[in-house]
């Protein structure tokens, strides 16, 4: 996995855990839009990383 993608994925996971573990419901509701963005960026980063790994494997086989 690319180090940059790995860093951003870990950062997104940290914020996601913080938002899920929000101390009260009102804070969790206030942070919900941020959580959806983090989940979406996490998905994008994961898919990009998987594509780059597949590309690396293909290059190694050739």
Domain count of the fold of the chain: 1
User: What are φ and ψ of residue 24, in 5° steps?
Assistant: -145, 165
Provide the mean pLDDT of the chain: 69
Q: Which residue, 46, 38, 40, is CA-closest to 15? A: 38
Which residues does the chain have with pLDDT short of 70? 1-4, 17-39, 41-42, 45, 48-50, 53-54, 57, 62
Residue numbers of the domain that contains 33:
3-61
- pLDDT of amino acid 62: 67
């Amino acid at each position: 996995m690319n180090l940059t993608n790995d860093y951003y994925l870990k950062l997104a996971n940290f914020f996601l855990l913080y938002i899920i573990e929000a101390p009260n419901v009102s804070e969790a509701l206030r942070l919900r839009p941020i959580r959806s963005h983090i989940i979406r960026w996490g998905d994008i980063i994961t898919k990009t990383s998987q594509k780059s790994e597949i590309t690396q494997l293909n290059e190694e086989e050739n």
